A and B are shown apart, each in its own frame.
Chain A
Amino acid sequence: MTRVSYYPGCSLEGMANDYARSIEAVFEDLGITLVEIEDWSCCGSTAAHSLSEMMSVALPARNLAAAEKLGLDIVSPCAMCFNRLRFSQNMLQKGLFDVPWTVSGDLRVHDMTRFLAEPDMLRKIQKRIIRPLKGLRLVCYYGCQMVRPPKITGYRDYENPQTLDRLTRAVGADVIDWSYKATCCGASIGIGRKDIQTTLTERILLKAVQTGAEAVVVACALCQSNLDIFQHNHPEIALPVFYFTELLRLAFAAETKARWFKKHFVDPVPLLARKGLIV
Protein backbone atom coordinates (compact mmCIF):
# COMPACT_ATOMS: atom_id res chain seq x y z
CA MET A 1 0.00 0.00 0.00
CA THR A 2 1.39 3.34 -1.03
CA ARG A 3 1.64 6.05 1.59
CA VAL A 4 2.27 9.71 0.89
CA SER A 5 2.22 12.77 3.09
CA TYR A 6 -0.63 15.06 2.27
CA TYR A 7 -0.53 18.85 2.47
CA PRO A 8 -4.10 19.98 1.79
CA GLY A 9 -3.72 23.73 2.21
CA CYS A 10 -6.14 26.27 3.69
CA SER A 11 -8.54 26.49 0.73
CA LEU A 12 -9.45 22.83 1.02
CA GLU A 13 -10.79 23.47 4.52
CA GLY A 14 -13.00 26.29 3.30
CA MET A 15 -14.11 27.25 -0.19
CA ALA A 16 -12.78 24.08 -1.79
CA ASN A 17 -14.14 21.53 0.69
CA ASP A 18 -15.74 19.74 -2.27
CA TYR A 19 -12.26 19.27 -3.76
CA ALA A 20 -11.04 17.88 -0.43
CA ARG A 21 -13.88 15.37 -0.22
CA SER A 22 -13.44 14.14 -3.78
CA ILE A 23 -9.69 13.72 -3.22
CA GLU A 24 -10.24 11.62 -0.12
CA ALA A 25 -12.72 9.43 -2.00
CA VAL A 26 -10.44 8.97 -5.03
CA PHE A 27 -7.36 8.10 -2.99
CA GLU A 28 -9.35 5.61 -0.96
CA ASP A 29 -10.53 4.02 -4.22
CA LEU A 30 -6.95 3.78 -5.46
CA GLY A 31 -5.70 2.32 -2.20
CA ILE A 32 -3.26 5.14 -1.48
CA THR A 33 -3.06 6.35 2.10
CA LEU A 34 -2.89 10.10 2.56
CA VAL A 35 -1.04 10.93 5.76
CA GLU A 36 -1.89 14.51 6.62
CA ILE A 37 1.20 16.44 7.71
CA GLU A 38 0.88 16.99 11.43
CA ASP A 39 0.03 20.56 12.46
CA TRP A 40 0.50 21.81 8.92
CA SER A 41 0.34 25.56 8.55
CA CYS A 42 -0.38 27.95 5.67
CA CYS A 43 2.30 28.29 2.98
CA GLY A 44 1.92 32.08 2.93
CA SER A 45 0.64 32.12 -0.64
CA THR A 46 0.97 35.33 -2.66
CA ALA A 47 0.93 37.54 0.42
CA ALA A 48 4.14 36.13 1.87
CA HIS A 49 6.27 36.40 -1.26
CA SER A 50 4.83 39.81 -2.09
CA LEU A 51 5.72 41.36 1.25
CA SER A 52 8.73 39.41 2.47
CA GLU A 53 10.80 36.84 0.65
CA MET A 54 12.12 35.50 3.93
CA MET A 55 8.57 34.61 5.03
CA SER A 56 7.89 32.86 1.73
CA VAL A 57 10.80 30.53 2.43
CA ALA A 58 10.29 30.09 6.18
CA LEU A 59 6.54 29.38 6.22
CA PRO A 60 6.59 26.38 3.82
CA ALA A 61 9.87 25.18 5.36
CA ARG A 62 8.11 24.29 8.59
CA ASN A 63 5.79 21.97 6.67
CA LEU A 64 8.68 20.50 4.71
CA ALA A 65 10.45 19.71 7.99
CA ALA A 66 7.30 18.08 9.40
CA ALA A 67 6.94 15.94 6.27
CA GLU A 68 10.60 14.92 6.42
CA LYS A 69 9.95 13.62 9.91
CA LEU A 70 7.29 11.38 8.37
CA GLY A 71 9.71 10.45 5.61
CA LEU A 72 7.01 10.39 2.95
CA ASP A 73 6.95 12.31 -0.32
CA ILE A 74 4.52 15.23 -0.30
CA VAL A 75 1.47 15.40 -2.52
CA SER A 76 -0.22 18.77 -2.76
CA PRO A 77 -3.60 19.26 -4.44
CA CYS A 78 -3.28 23.06 -4.43
CA ALA A 79 -1.22 24.62 -7.21
CA MET A 80 -0.04 27.52 -5.07
CA CYS A 81 0.95 25.35 -2.10
CA PHE A 82 2.89 23.07 -4.45
CA ASN A 83 4.68 26.02 -5.99
CA ARG A 84 5.57 27.56 -2.62
CA LEU A 85 6.80 24.27 -1.14
CA ARG A 86 9.03 23.70 -4.15
CA PHE A 87 10.25 27.30 -4.07
CA SER A 88 11.14 27.05 -0.40
CA GLN A 89 12.93 23.75 -0.92
CA ASN A 90 14.84 25.25 -3.84
CA MET A 91 15.97 28.33 -1.89
CA LEU A 92 17.06 26.23 1.07
CA GLN A 93 19.00 23.84 -1.17
CA LYS A 94 20.82 26.81 -2.65
CA GLY A 95 21.74 27.81 0.90
CA LEU A 96 20.28 31.30 0.64
CA PHE A 97 18.19 31.29 3.82
CA ASP A 98 18.35 29.96 7.35
CA VAL A 99 15.32 28.45 9.03
CA PRO A 100 15.00 27.09 12.56
CA TRP A 101 14.29 23.56 11.27
CA THR A 102 16.45 21.07 9.45
CA VAL A 103 15.24 20.63 5.89
CA SER A 104 17.45 18.32 3.88
CA GLY A 105 15.38 18.72 0.73
CA ASP A 106 15.45 15.00 0.00
CA LEU A 107 11.69 14.66 -0.18
CA ARG A 108 9.94 14.99 -3.47
CA VAL A 109 7.10 17.47 -3.65
CA HIS A 110 4.49 16.38 -6.19
CA ASP A 111 1.50 18.23 -7.43
CA MET A 112 -1.44 15.90 -7.31
CA THR A 113 -2.00 15.75 -11.07
CA ARG A 114 1.53 14.69 -11.87
CA PHE A 115 1.54 12.16 -9.06
CA LEU A 116 -1.59 10.51 -10.47
CA ALA A 117 -0.55 10.84 -14.12
CA GLU A 118 2.51 8.62 -13.70
CA PRO A 119 2.19 5.52 -15.96
CA ASP A 120 1.66 2.97 -13.17
CA MET A 121 -0.88 5.22 -11.45
CA LEU A 122 -2.72 5.64 -14.76
CA ARG A 123 -2.88 1.86 -15.09
CA LYS A 124 -4.30 1.65 -11.57
CA ILE A 125 -6.89 4.28 -12.47
CA GLN A 126 -7.91 2.49 -15.65
CA LYS A 127 -8.47 -0.72 -13.72
CA ARG A 128 -10.88 1.04 -11.35
CA ILE A 129 -13.15 2.54 -13.97
CA ILE A 130 -16.76 1.41 -13.74
CA ARG A 131 -18.36 4.14 -15.76
CA PRO A 132 -16.24 5.65 -18.57
CA LEU A 133 -17.11 9.31 -19.14
CA LYS A 134 -17.87 8.77 -22.83
CA GLY A 135 -18.87 11.74 -24.92
CA LEU A 136 -17.96 14.38 -22.35
CA ARG A 137 -16.05 17.12 -24.23
CA LEU A 138 -13.61 18.80 -21.88
CA VAL A 139 -10.81 21.32 -21.83
CA CYS A 140 -8.14 21.08 -19.14
CA TYR A 141 -7.12 24.29 -17.44
CA TYR A 142 -3.86 24.21 -15.48
CA GLY A 143 -3.46 27.81 -14.39
CA CYS A 144 -0.09 29.34 -13.71
CA GLN A 145 1.37 28.23 -10.40
CA MET A 146 1.34 24.52 -11.16
CA VAL A 147 3.47 24.76 -14.30
CA ARG A 148 5.46 27.96 -13.98
CA PRO A 149 8.27 28.86 -13.48
CA PRO A 150 9.51 25.56 -14.99
CA LYS A 151 12.79 25.68 -13.08
CA ILE A 152 10.81 25.49 -9.82
CA THR A 153 7.91 23.24 -10.83
CA GLY A 154 9.95 20.87 -12.99
CA TYR A 155 7.42 20.85 -15.82
CA ARG A 156 9.16 20.35 -19.16
CA ASP A 157 6.02 20.75 -21.22
CA TYR A 158 5.08 24.05 -19.59
CA GLU A 159 3.68 25.45 -22.84
CA ASN A 160 1.33 22.55 -23.35
CA PRO A 161 1.14 20.59 -20.10
CA GLN A 162 -0.39 17.12 -20.32
CA THR A 163 -0.95 15.72 -16.82
CA LEU A 164 -4.64 16.66 -16.54
CA ASP A 165 -5.19 15.70 -20.18
CA ARG A 166 -3.79 12.23 -19.55
CA LEU A 167 -5.93 11.76 -16.44
CA THR A 168 -9.20 12.88 -17.98
CA ARG A 169 -8.47 10.89 -21.13
CA ALA A 170 -7.80 7.82 -18.98
CA VAL A 171 -11.34 7.97 -17.59
CA GLY A 172 -12.75 8.08 -21.10
CA ALA A 173 -13.56 11.75 -21.66
CA ASP A 174 -12.92 13.57 -24.95
CA VAL A 175 -10.18 16.07 -24.23
CA ILE A 176 -9.89 19.02 -26.59
CA ASP A 177 -6.63 20.83 -27.15
CA TRP A 178 -6.79 24.57 -26.61
CA SER A 179 -4.48 27.50 -26.22
CA TYR A 180 -5.39 28.93 -22.80
CA LYS A 181 -4.26 25.98 -20.72
CA ALA A 182 -1.81 27.89 -18.59
CA THR A 183 -3.00 31.49 -18.90
CA CYS A 184 -3.58 33.25 -15.59
CA CYS A 185 -7.19 33.47 -14.31
CA GLY A 186 -6.50 36.56 -12.18
CA ALA A 187 -5.97 34.71 -8.90
CA SER A 188 -6.75 36.81 -5.85
CA ILE A 189 -6.47 40.19 -7.59
CA GLY A 190 -10.27 40.47 -7.59
CA ILE A 191 -10.06 41.53 -3.94
CA GLY A 192 -8.63 44.91 -4.92
CA ARG A 193 -9.09 45.15 -8.68
CA LYS A 194 -12.23 43.30 -9.75
CA ASP A 195 -11.90 44.71 -13.27
CA ILE A 196 -8.63 42.88 -13.92
CA GLN A 197 -9.90 39.60 -12.58
CA THR A 198 -13.13 39.62 -14.59
CA THR A 199 -11.24 40.48 -17.79
CA LEU A 200 -8.84 37.58 -17.38
CA THR A 201 -11.45 35.06 -16.24
CA GLU A 202 -13.87 35.99 -19.00
CA ARG A 203 -11.15 35.57 -21.62
CA ILE A 204 -10.51 31.99 -20.51
CA LEU A 205 -14.18 31.03 -20.33
CA LEU A 206 -15.04 32.51 -23.71
CA LYS A 207 -12.11 30.69 -25.29
CA ALA A 208 -13.31 27.43 -23.73
CA VAL A 209 -16.78 27.98 -25.19
CA GLN A 210 -15.29 28.84 -28.58
CA THR A 211 -13.22 25.63 -28.48
CA GLY A 212 -16.45 23.67 -28.16
CA ALA A 213 -15.96 22.42 -24.63
CA GLU A 214 -18.88 21.38 -22.46
CA ALA A 215 -16.97 21.72 -19.21
CA VAL A 216 -13.61 22.83 -17.81
CA VAL A 217 -11.38 20.62 -15.68
CA VAL A 218 -9.11 22.25 -13.11
CA ALA A 219 -6.71 21.22 -10.38
CA CYS A 220 -6.57 24.46 -8.41
CA ALA A 221 -8.98 25.73 -5.77
CA LEU A 222 -8.66 29.37 -6.77
CA CYS A 223 -9.00 28.69 -10.52
CA GLN A 224 -12.18 26.74 -9.80
CA SER A 225 -13.74 29.46 -7.69
CA ASN A 226 -12.76 32.22 -10.12
CA LEU A 227 -14.13 30.42 -13.18
CA ASP A 228 -17.22 29.17 -11.36
CA ILE A 229 -18.15 32.34 -9.47
CA PHE A 230 -17.72 34.49 -12.59
CA GLN A 231 -20.60 32.56 -14.12
CA HIS A 232 -22.75 33.34 -11.08
CA ASN A 233 -23.06 36.83 -12.61
CA HIS A 234 -22.91 35.61 -16.23
CA PRO A 235 -25.23 32.58 -16.31
CA GLU A 236 -25.32 32.64 -20.13
CA ILE A 237 -21.90 30.93 -20.33
CA ALA A 238 -23.04 27.89 -18.29
CA LEU A 239 -19.80 25.92 -18.38
CA PRO A 240 -19.42 23.59 -15.39
CA VAL A 241 -15.99 23.72 -13.76
CA PHE A 242 -14.91 20.35 -12.37
CA TYR A 243 -12.04 19.42 -10.14
CA PHE A 244 -10.30 16.54 -11.87
CA THR A 245 -10.81 14.35 -8.81
CA GLU A 246 -14.58 14.79 -9.10
CA LEU A 247 -14.43 13.28 -12.58
CA LEU A 248 -12.21 10.43 -11.43
CA ARG A 249 -14.64 9.69 -8.61
CA LEU A 250 -17.56 9.83 -11.03
CA ALA A 251 -15.86 7.18 -13.18
CA PHE A 252 -15.00 5.01 -10.16
CA ALA A 253 -18.20 5.09 -8.18
CA ALA A 254 -21.05 2.66 -8.48
CA GLU A 255 -23.62 5.03 -7.03
CA THR A 256 -24.80 7.66 -9.46
CA LYS A 257 -25.09 10.76 -7.34
CA ALA A 258 -22.30 12.92 -6.05
CA ARG A 259 -23.18 15.15 -3.15
CA TRP A 260 -20.46 17.69 -3.77
CA PHE A 261 -21.81 18.75 -7.17
CA LYS A 262 -24.34 20.86 -5.26
CA LYS A 263 -21.48 23.08 -4.16
CA HIS A 264 -20.84 24.32 -7.68
CA PHE A 265 -22.37 27.56 -8.89
CA VAL A 266 -22.83 26.13 -12.37
CA ASP A 267 -24.80 22.96 -11.77
CA PRO A 268 -23.09 20.13 -13.69
CA VAL A 269 -25.96 17.68 -13.11
CA PRO A 270 -27.97 18.55 -16.28
CA LEU A 271 -24.87 18.05 -18.45
CA LEU A 272 -23.98 14.75 -16.79
CA ALA A 273 -27.59 13.56 -17.01
CA ARG A 274 -27.67 14.40 -20.72
CA LYS A 275 -24.60 12.23 -21.21
CA GLY A 276 -26.21 9.42 -19.23
CA LEU A 277 -23.57 9.57 -16.51
CA ILE A 278 -25.97 10.47 -13.72
CA VAL A 279 -29.53 9.33 -13.43
Chain B
Amino acid sequence: MQAHQPADTETHSQSSLPTERKVIGDRGDFFLKRVQGEAGVNVTACYQCERCTNACPASAFMDIKPHQVIRYVQLGWREELMHSTTIWVCLSCEMCTTYCPNMVDVAETINYLRNMAAHSAIVPRERHLAVFHQTFLEQLHKFGRVNEFWLMNAFNLKPDILKEKIQSGALREELLLGLALIKKGKLNFIPRRSRAIRQIDEIYRRRRGDIV
Protein backbone atom coordinates (compact mmCIF):
# COMPACT_ATOMS: atom_id res chain seq x y z
CA MET B 1 0.00 0.00 0.00
CA GLN B 2 2.83 2.40 0.78
CA ALA B 3 4.91 1.54 -2.24
CA HIS B 4 6.04 5.10 -2.78
CA GLN B 5 7.10 5.64 0.77
CA PRO B 6 10.74 5.68 1.77
CA ALA B 7 11.57 3.09 4.41
CA ASP B 8 12.70 5.62 6.99
CA THR B 9 9.23 7.13 7.49
CA GLU B 10 8.74 4.55 10.23
CA THR B 11 10.88 6.70 12.50
CA HIS B 12 8.26 9.43 12.30
CA SER B 13 5.32 7.12 12.91
CA GLN B 14 2.84 7.38 15.73
CA SER B 15 4.57 4.64 17.70
CA SER B 16 7.67 6.78 18.26
CA LEU B 17 5.66 9.40 20.12
CA PRO B 18 5.57 9.14 23.89
CA THR B 19 2.56 7.08 24.92
CA GLU B 20 2.47 7.95 28.61
CA ARG B 21 1.25 11.41 27.71
CA LYS B 22 -1.97 10.06 26.22
CA VAL B 23 -4.09 10.93 29.21
CA ILE B 24 -7.36 12.67 28.58
CA GLY B 25 -7.45 16.19 29.90
CA ASP B 26 -3.73 16.63 30.60
CA ARG B 27 -3.06 19.11 27.80
CA GLY B 28 -5.44 21.89 28.71
CA ASP B 29 -7.54 23.59 26.06
CA PHE B 30 -4.85 25.84 24.54
CA PHE B 31 -4.67 24.00 21.23
CA LEU B 32 -8.44 23.63 21.00
CA LYS B 33 -8.95 27.36 21.53
CA ARG B 34 -6.30 28.17 18.95
CA VAL B 35 -7.85 25.95 16.26
CA GLN B 36 -11.33 27.24 17.02
CA GLY B 37 -10.16 30.82 16.85
CA GLU B 38 -7.87 30.64 13.83
CA ALA B 39 -9.73 28.15 11.66
CA GLY B 40 -13.14 29.40 12.78
CA VAL B 41 -14.43 25.87 13.34
CA ASN B 42 -16.76 24.94 16.18
CA VAL B 43 -14.71 21.88 17.13
CA THR B 44 -16.48 21.40 20.47
CA ALA B 45 -19.81 20.78 18.73
CA CYS B 46 -18.62 17.32 17.61
CA TYR B 47 -20.37 14.37 19.28
CA GLN B 48 -18.39 11.67 17.47
CA CYS B 49 -21.16 10.31 15.24
CA GLU B 50 -18.44 9.38 12.69
CA ARG B 51 -20.46 10.60 9.75
CA CYS B 52 -17.39 12.47 8.45
CA THR B 53 -15.28 9.31 8.50
CA ASN B 54 -17.99 7.31 6.78
CA ALA B 55 -18.39 9.94 4.07
CA CYS B 56 -14.64 10.32 3.51
CA PRO B 57 -13.45 8.52 0.34
CA ALA B 58 -9.88 8.36 1.63
CA SER B 59 -10.46 7.43 5.29
CA ALA B 60 -9.18 3.89 4.68
CA PHE B 61 -5.77 5.40 3.96
CA MET B 62 -5.64 7.60 7.05
CA ASP B 63 -4.03 6.67 10.35
CA ILE B 64 -6.12 9.16 12.35
CA LYS B 65 -9.67 9.14 10.97
CA PRO B 66 -11.52 12.44 10.42
CA HIS B 67 -13.73 12.10 13.54
CA GLN B 68 -10.60 11.26 15.54
CA VAL B 69 -8.88 14.38 14.22
CA ILE B 70 -11.65 16.45 15.78
CA ARG B 71 -11.35 14.53 19.06
CA TYR B 72 -7.56 14.93 19.08
CA VAL B 73 -7.97 18.68 18.64
CA GLN B 74 -10.40 18.73 21.57
CA LEU B 75 -7.83 16.85 23.65
CA GLY B 76 -4.92 18.99 22.49
CA TRP B 77 -2.94 16.09 21.06
CA ARG B 78 -1.16 18.29 18.56
CA GLU B 79 1.99 16.24 17.97
CA GLU B 80 0.05 13.15 16.91
CA LEU B 81 -1.82 15.21 14.36
CA MET B 82 1.32 16.86 13.01
CA HIS B 83 2.93 13.42 12.53
CA SER B 84 -0.16 11.84 10.95
CA THR B 85 -0.65 10.79 7.33
CA THR B 86 -4.20 12.15 7.55
CA ILE B 87 -3.30 15.80 7.11
CA TRP B 88 -1.51 15.03 3.82
CA VAL B 89 -3.80 12.28 2.51
CA CYS B 90 -6.92 14.46 2.89
CA LEU B 91 -8.15 15.42 -0.58
CA SER B 92 -10.13 18.47 0.57
CA CYS B 93 -13.16 17.02 -1.20
CA GLU B 94 -15.31 18.52 1.58
CA MET B 95 -17.51 15.44 2.05
CA CYS B 96 -16.96 15.54 5.82
CA THR B 97 -17.85 19.22 6.13
CA THR B 98 -20.91 18.88 3.93
CA TYR B 99 -22.41 15.98 5.83
CA CYS B 100 -21.59 16.94 9.42
CA PRO B 101 -24.88 17.23 11.31
CA ASN B 102 -23.36 19.79 13.67
CA MET B 103 -21.77 21.89 10.94
CA VAL B 104 -18.23 21.20 12.13
CA ASP B 105 -15.93 22.19 9.26
CA VAL B 106 -13.77 19.05 9.38
CA ALA B 107 -12.00 19.71 6.06
CA GLU B 108 -11.10 23.23 7.16
CA THR B 109 -9.71 21.83 10.42
CA ILE B 110 -7.53 19.35 8.56
CA ASN B 111 -6.44 22.08 6.13
CA TYR B 112 -5.53 24.33 9.03
CA LEU B 113 -3.47 21.51 10.56
CA ARG B 114 -1.76 20.95 7.20
CA ASN B 115 -0.88 24.65 7.05
CA MET B 116 0.49 24.34 10.58
CA ALA B 117 2.53 21.22 9.74
CA ALA B 118 3.93 22.91 6.62
CA HIS B 119 5.28 25.70 8.80
CA SER B 120 6.70 23.39 11.46
CA ALA B 121 10.01 21.59 11.78
CA ILE B 122 8.36 18.20 11.42
CA VAL B 123 9.21 16.07 8.37
CA PRO B 124 5.85 15.43 6.68
CA ARG B 125 4.69 11.80 6.74
CA GLU B 126 3.74 12.03 3.07
CA ARG B 127 6.85 13.85 1.94
CA HIS B 128 6.14 13.47 -1.77
CA LEU B 129 2.77 15.16 -1.46
CA ALA B 130 4.14 18.00 0.64
CA VAL B 131 7.10 18.57 -1.70
CA PHE B 132 4.73 18.52 -4.66
CA HIS B 133 2.62 21.32 -3.18
CA GLN B 134 5.80 23.31 -2.56
CA THR B 135 7.03 22.75 -6.13
CA PHE B 136 3.64 23.83 -7.48
CA LEU B 137 3.89 27.16 -5.66
CA GLU B 138 7.47 27.65 -6.86
CA GLN B 139 6.44 27.08 -10.47
CA LEU B 140 3.54 29.48 -10.02
CA HIS B 141 5.98 32.07 -8.70
CA LYS B 142 8.25 31.61 -11.71
CA PHE B 143 5.68 31.73 -14.52
CA GLY B 144 2.49 33.05 -12.96
CA ARG B 145 0.82 29.95 -14.36
CA VAL B 146 1.57 26.28 -14.01
CA ASN B 147 2.68 24.01 -16.83
CA GLU B 148 2.31 20.27 -16.19
CA PHE B 149 5.51 19.30 -17.98
CA TRP B 150 7.70 21.81 -16.16
CA LEU B 151 5.97 21.09 -12.87
CA MET B 152 6.71 17.36 -13.02
CA ASN B 153 10.32 17.99 -14.06
CA ALA B 154 10.87 20.45 -11.23
CA PHE B 155 9.25 18.01 -8.80
CA ASN B 156 11.50 15.15 -9.91
CA LEU B 157 14.58 17.31 -9.39
CA LYS B 158 13.75 17.91 -5.72
CA PRO B 159 16.05 16.11 -3.25
CA ASP B 160 15.56 12.33 -3.15
CA ILE B 161 12.35 12.35 -5.19
CA LEU B 162 13.91 10.84 -8.30
CA LYS B 163 15.85 8.27 -6.28
CA GLU B 164 12.74 7.12 -4.45
CA LYS B 165 10.72 7.02 -7.65
CA ILE B 166 13.34 4.82 -9.34
CA GLN B 167 13.40 2.49 -6.34
CA SER B 168 9.63 2.10 -6.26
CA GLY B 169 9.34 1.75 -10.04
CA ALA B 170 7.09 4.80 -10.24
CA LEU B 171 9.48 6.60 -12.55
CA ARG B 172 9.20 4.00 -15.31
CA GLU B 173 5.41 4.23 -15.17
CA GLU B 174 5.60 8.00 -15.25
CA LEU B 175 7.89 8.07 -18.27
CA LEU B 176 5.61 5.71 -20.19
CA LEU B 177 2.63 7.92 -19.37
CA GLY B 178 4.60 11.01 -20.35
CA LEU B 179 5.37 9.47 -23.73
CA ALA B 180 1.70 8.61 -24.26
CA LEU B 181 0.72 12.18 -23.36
CA ILE B 182 3.26 13.59 -25.81
CA LYS B 183 1.86 11.36 -28.56
CA LYS B 184 -1.63 12.67 -27.77
CA GLY B 185 -0.35 16.24 -27.96
CA LYS B 186 -1.41 16.93 -24.40
CA LEU B 187 1.87 18.31 -23.08
CA ASN B 188 3.03 21.84 -23.67
CA PHE B 189 6.83 22.08 -23.59
CA ILE B 190 6.94 25.85 -23.68
CA PRO B 191 5.40 27.30 -20.52
CA ARG B 192 2.93 30.14 -20.94
CA ARG B 193 3.62 33.07 -18.70
CA SER B 194 1.29 35.54 -17.10
CA ARG B 195 2.39 39.11 -17.64
CA ALA B 196 1.36 39.92 -14.09
CA ILE B 197 4.51 38.32 -12.73
CA ARG B 198 5.50 41.35 -10.66
CA GLN B 199 2.19 41.42 -8.82
CA ILE B 200 2.51 37.71 -8.13
CA ASP B 201 6.00 38.24 -6.77
CA GLU B 202 4.50 40.80 -4.42
CA ILE B 203 2.09 38.18 -3.02
CA TYR B 204 5.01 35.84 -2.42
CA ARG B 205 7.00 38.53 -0.62
CA ARG B 206 4.01 39.23 1.59
CA ARG B 207 3.79 35.54 2.35
CA ARG B 208 7.39 35.62 3.57
CA GLY B 209 6.47 38.51 5.81
CA ASP B 210 8.42 41.16 3.88
CA ILE B 211 7.11 44.68 4.18
CA VAL B 212 6.37 45.46 0.54
Contacts and interface: CB of A to CB of B under 8 A. Distances in A.
Interface of A: 10-11, 13-15, 17, 39-42, 44-55, 58-59, 62, 66, 100, 144-145, 148-150, 158, 183-184, 186-189, 191-196, 199-200, 203, 229, 232, 262-265
A188 B92 contact: no
**Looking at chain A's contact residues, is the secondary structure mostly helix, strand, loop, or mixed?**
helix
B133 A14 contact: no
Contacts of A158: 98
B140 A14 contact: no
10 contacts: A10-B146, A15-B187, A51-B134, A62-B200, A100-B203, A144-B91, A183-B57, A184-B93, A192-B128, A193-B128
B94 A149 contact: yes
B200 A232 contact: no
A194 B98 contact: no
A95 to B, nearest CB: 13
A189 B118 contact: no
Contacts of B21: none
B3 interface: yes
Interface in B178-206: 180-181, 184-188, 192, 194-196, 199-200, 202-203, 206
**Looking at chain B's contact residues, is the secondary structure mostly helix, strand, loop, or mixed?**
helix
A163 to B, nearest CB: 17
Interface residues of B, number: 62
Contact of B147 (A14, A53, A59, A189): A14
B133 A41 contact: no
A196 B58 contact: yes
A41 B199 CA distance: 10
Interface string B112-147: 101100100000001111001110110010001111
B80 interface: no
B92 A265 contact: no
A2 to B, nearest CB: 26
Contacts of A189: 58, 89, 91, 129
A38 to B, nearest CB: 8
Contact of A191 (B92, B97, B128, B192): B128
Contacts of B89: 189, 193, 196
A45 B105 CA distance: 19
B58 A262 contact: no
Interface string B87-110: 011011111011000000101000
A193 B126 contact: yes
Given A41-B200, A100-B199, A184 B57 contact: yes
Given A46-B92, A193-B89, A14 B186 contact: yes
